[in-house]
Amino acid sequence: MLRVATENLFNKNFKFTSLINNIHYYSTQTDVPSEADVVIIGGGSLGCNTLYQLSKKGVKAVLLERNKITSGTTWHTGGLVWRLRPSDVDIQLLSATTEQLLKLEEETGLNPGYVKNGGLFISRTKERLREYKRLHTIGHYFGIESHIITSSEAAKIHPLLNPKNFSAALYSPSDGCLDPSMLCTALIKGSTTNGGKLIEHCPVTNILTDSSTGFKKVVGVETSLGVIKTKCIVNAAGAWSRYISQMVGLDIPLIPMKHAYVITESIPEAKGTPNIRDHDASVYYRTQGNTLYIGGYENNPEIIKEVEKDFAFGLYELDYNVFGVHLEKARDLTPILNNIGIKSNICGPESFTPDHKPILGEDPRLGGFYYACGLNSAGMMFGPGIAEQLAYWILNGRPKLPMYNSDIRRFTPDMRSNRAWIIETSHESYAKNYSIVFPHDQPLAGRNLKIDVFHEVFVAHGAVMEQAQGWERPGFYIKDSTAPVRSYDWYGSYDHVDNPDKRYENQLEGDYTFNFSKHHDLIGAEALAARTNAALFNLSYFCKMYLTGPDAQKAAEWLFTARTDRDPEKIMYTCTLNKDGGTEGDVTVVGLSQGLGTLVGPILKGKGYYIVAGGASGYHTVCHLKKEIQKKNLKAVITDVTDKLGVLSIQGPKSREILQSITEAPITDEKLPFGMSDIIHINGHICRVLRMSFIGELGYELHIPYASCIPIYNQLEQAGRGFDMQFAGYRAMYSLSCEKGYHLWNSDLRSDDNPVEANLSKICRKDGSYLGKDQVDKLKSEGVSKLRAFFTLNSKIPLWGNETIWRDDQIVGFLRRGDYGYFLKCSIGIGYIKHPKNKIITSESIKSGQYEIEVMGKRYPANLHLESPFDPNGQRIQGHYENQFQEQVHFED
């Protein structure tokens, strides 16, 4: 889709004022070393933290800062530190930050300027309070104290608040604030004590690379003081990071915007009060002495087209036409502000990203080039936690925590180079920073970036689309009307006219709840159609690739945990791991027989495989497989054919009859048993059929060359009408797959989960060797301290993930994933049960005890199942539907 960034987004007045001239030098030297293990570019929060973490781990690291440390964004930060966010990984990063802040003084003798003044999250609506109750609940698992309190109680903690203007609050006593310059000074001292080097006034002017081995790698940096040879560079240049990437011809999805806070005149009552986050009003406060810092996120932030290259200790002039809205809201919450003046303001550049998550990790297209940027106005609080993970990433090839949501590999190359898309999506992420994080919220910006061949057909049938990794996919279908995604209207900002067509937004509103969605029954009908009759899913955005070349078989053996040396056309479900046994992806692999040179049947020289991975993380899977092939020096090639093949999946008891009615190829158990693939013809068009199911039913996936997609769809749709086949979207599919107990990568199967912990030992072979096998074998023989489990609730309340799991009055885990099982007629949760003392647990030992799931602070009895009780013997995928009724009755008993 053509997307053009309009000029009126960009503020024309870019003049900044440099405010501080007499900052001390912290540099350890004024010349550059000839080589270093790691060179970090940029001496802000991220650079200083990364130098500290690497130096402590014995790495010879050098930090190069163009000016003086903190001179970019860090020096003027608000410095607030929160503990609770709606993501278990974020919470763990923030906990690491707090721990490190507390240790730093002891270690360096320098106070990092950390004050634990607590934080209040203001709630003005019922739904907001539910969101806070969810934070309060997940906080229990991570040992973070918090309290849901009334507005009057909140006003006792922070006497400047007007309790009449909000309804309740979440109080988090361990929140705090930090001083950026004190923190960075302590970090540099901690680094240099461990051999780290800081060189200020040393801009990096170029990056040296080498491609002679066939894969581009970094080999050094050029600076104003000379060249440093290195195999590893960290781009921590904040709002200037894009300039650094451009030195190696790469783009990153990051845009600088102005972000600001104002500083009030003295308010003696403000002293010692906690931080405030009034999400509904989109404002935050920090208390500094007798003053309040007041900041916020507006709908019309000023986007900076090119941030000045010589910017140091600078600020922009604050535009009160933009910022004024925050003052109005703040006066409403804190009436004293009506009589208090604004002493000064801080308005500086900060980098923002399309999904409001940082950009971290190694660039898949340039070996040794790491990112630590795009911090979305949270780089102080995340700095220490993120730098710790980055240090593991650099040293071990992967972080300890599952960092996919911040990994550069969540963006495909076409997303990274599309500036108009990046600006749109980053704008919306900024404007919605304080919006409630609903389980099924969808962006309005950056839509229709990648659409598959069926897009228009399904939208015309009422598909309400979702986006994942830039692709549009049907979420669910509405009856007798349509709700296409319209072009982005920037929420009416920057002179854009509000889009009058609200059909899509109206549908989204049905999901703005932590209760069951307004679309619950519609999605239920789609799910039940797949269980009882037939449903058609469009899975075209799934990532599809070929693994070929002389070493294809060796590569498959190394990359996949399951046996891949099976008969041609056999479909294998398998994990692909990292060297520590963490799951980097789960895919289906088909061993290919010799083809005729078509898109679905390539001509092979030796073995070849067709691999299908989840679409939302498809690029990550491709990068992981390519990198491991390259590391092993194997002569094998991965060819991504995602945008060349459409996928229609027909599922349910009637699927076989429907498919058989449009092809002469025999769709029988003998010719096409479960777990097998074949090339078939439908009305003269060729396609690959895979007899498999993501939902636990008799079902078939048709992988079709784009040119044949619509003709085959037309046949299928026409045939389906005779069987009352329904269209079904991803919401139904996720519910069905959850009900069946299947895994979902980056949810209940992540890079911090070993397959043995995830109950996937059965797809980890005993013989041969594969990446991560040592750790799998170790856990198989020694046992695990956490184990995936499946829960059902008797009470009809929704589960979304992040609810805590209690066993006999002790917290033993939290749900990674929640959904509603329409066939089982109950809410389902999937999570990992951990031994409270990290001791070994077994599937037997977790069976005893009384389980409860805590939802928004209230505990509900839960039934534990090691595997889903839905069709436990897998009769339905075999097409055996005769005994299903009895099994269901048994479960309900």
Ligand X SMILES: Cc1cc2nc3c(=O)[nH]c(=O)nc-3n(C[C@H](O)[C@H](O)[C@H](O)COP(=O)(O)OP(=O)(O)OC[C@H]3O[C@@H](n4cnc5c(N)ncnc54)[C@H](O)[C@@H]3O)c2cc1C
The contact set with ligand X (CB under 6 A) reads 41-47, 64-67, 71-74, 77-80, 203-204, 236-240, 259-261, 295, 346, 348, 350, 373, 375, 377-381
SS3 category, 505? helix
Instruction: For residue 302, give every residue at least 6 positions away whose Cβ sits within 8 Å of its Cβ, in sequence order, or none.
Output: 10, 11, 257, 258, 316, 319, 322
In angstroms, the first-to-last Cα distance of the chain is: 53
Report the alpha-carbon distance of residue 713 to residue 452 in Å, rounded. 13
Given the complex with ligand X, which of 41 and 604 has the nearer CB atom? 41
Residue type, 689: V
Q: Residue 382 Cβ, how far from ligand X at the closest point, in Å?
A: 6
Given the complex with ligand X, which of 65 and 871 has the nearer CB atom? 65
Given the complex with ligand X, which of 73 and 181 has the nearer CB atom? 73
Given the complex with ligand X, which of 359 and 577 has the nearer CB atom? 359
Q: Residue 91 Cβ, how far from ligand X at the closest point, in Å?
A: 15
Given the complex with ligand X, which of 245 and 759 has the nearer CB atom? 245
Q: Residue 49 Cβ, how far from ligand X at the closest point, in Å?
A: 8
Q: Residue 260 Cβ, how far from ligand X at the closest point, in Å?
A: 5
Given the complex with ligand X, which of 81 and 695 has the nearer CB atom? 81
Q: How does DSSP assign 305-368, residue by residue?
A: SS--TT--SEEEPP-HHHHHHHHHHHHHH-GGGGG--EEEEEEEEEEE-TTS--EEEE-TTSBT
Given the complex with ligand X, which of 261 and 800 has the nearer CB atom? 261
SS3 category, 710? helix
Report the alpha-carbon distance of residue 628 to residue 638 in Å, rounded. 11
Given the complex with ligand X, which of 69 and 853 has the nearer CB atom? 69
The length of the chain in residues reads 893
The CA-atom distances, in angstroms, between 333 and each of 218, 292, 324, 535 are 52, 13, 15, 51
Report the alpha-carbon distance of residue 254 to residue 235 in Å, rounded. 13
Q: Which two tokens stand for residue 501?
A: 């067509």
Best CA proximity match to 833, nearest among 810, 799, 861: 810
- For the chain, how big is the Rg over CA atoms in Å? 28
Q: Residue 75 Cβ, how far from ligand X at the closest point, in Å?
A: 7
DSSP state of 571: E
Q: Residue 197 Cβ, how far from ligand X at the closest point, in Å?
A: 14
Q: Residue 64 Cβ, how far from ligand X at the closest point, in Å?
A: 5
Q: Residue 702 Cβ, how far from ligand X at the closest point, in Å?
A: 47
**Looking at the DSSP assignment, which residues form a beta bridge with residue 209?**
218
Q: Residue 112 Cβ, how far from ligand X at the closest point, in Å?
A: 14
| Owner of token pair 């009637």 | 654
Residues 273, 159 contacting (CB under 8 angstroms): yes
Given the complex with ligand X, which of 262 and 698 has the nearer CB atom? 262
Q: Residue 711 Cβ, how far from ligand X at the closest point, in Å?
A: 52
Given the complex with ligand X, which of 64 and 148 has the nearer CB atom? 64
Counting Cα atoms < 13 Å in the Cβ hemisphere of 867 gives 9
Q: Which two tokens stand for residue 475?
A: 């979420």
Given the complex with ligand X, which of 377 and 737 has the nearer CB atom? 377
**Looking at the DSSP assignment, which residues form a beta bridge with residue 827?**
820
Count of other CB atoms within 10 angstroms of residue 148: 18
Q: Residue 46 Cβ, how far from ligand X at the closest point, in Å?
A: 4
Rounded to 5 degrees, φ, ψ at 414 are -70, -30
Residues 170, 147 contacting (CB under 8 angstroms): yes
Q: Helix 379-396 vs helix 88-108: angle between axes, to the nearest 10 degrees?
A: 90
Instruction: For residue 682, give every residue at least 6 positions away whose Cβ sits within 8 Å of its Cβ, in sequence order, or none.
Output: 662, 663, 702, 711, 712, 715, 716
Q: Residue 129 Cβ, how far from ligand X at the closest point, in Å?
A: 23
Report the alpha-carbon distance of residue 293 to residue 285 in Å, rounded. 5
Report the alpha-carbon distance of residue 529 to residue 525 in Å, rounded. 6
Given the complex with ligand X, which of 204 and 547 has the nearer CB atom? 204
Given the complex with ligand X, which of 74 and 108 has the nearer CB atom? 74
Given the complex with ligand X, which of 352 and 823 has the nearer CB atom? 352
Q: Residue 139 Cβ, how far from ligand X at the closest point, in Å?
A: 19
Given the complex with ligand X, which of 311 and 851 has the nearer CB atom? 311
| Owner of token pair 């602070």 | 857
Given the complex with ligand X, which of 41 and 337 has the nearer CB atom? 41
Report the alpha-carbon distance of residue 698 to residue 700 in Å, rounded. 7
Max distance between CA atoms of the chain, in angstroms, equals 84
The CA-atom distances, in angstroms, between 594 and each of 40, 534, 679 are 49, 32, 11
Q: Where are the beta strands (DSSP E) in 401-493?
A: 463-468, 471-477
**Looking at the DSSP assignment, which residues form a beta bridge with residue 814?**
804
Q: Residue 688 Cβ, how far from ligand X at the closest point, in Å?
A: 46
Residues 545, 642 contacting (CB under 8 angstroms): yes
Given the complex with ligand X, which of 360 and 799 has the nearer CB atom? 360
The CA-atom distances, in angstroms, between 507 and each of 136, 428, 513, 519 are 29, 18, 12, 8
Q: Residue 368 Cβ, how far from ligand X at the closest point, in Å?
A: 17
Burial class (CB in 10 A: 0-12, 13-18, 19+), 457: middle
Residues 478, 464 contacting (CB under 8 angstroms): yes
Residue type, 793: L
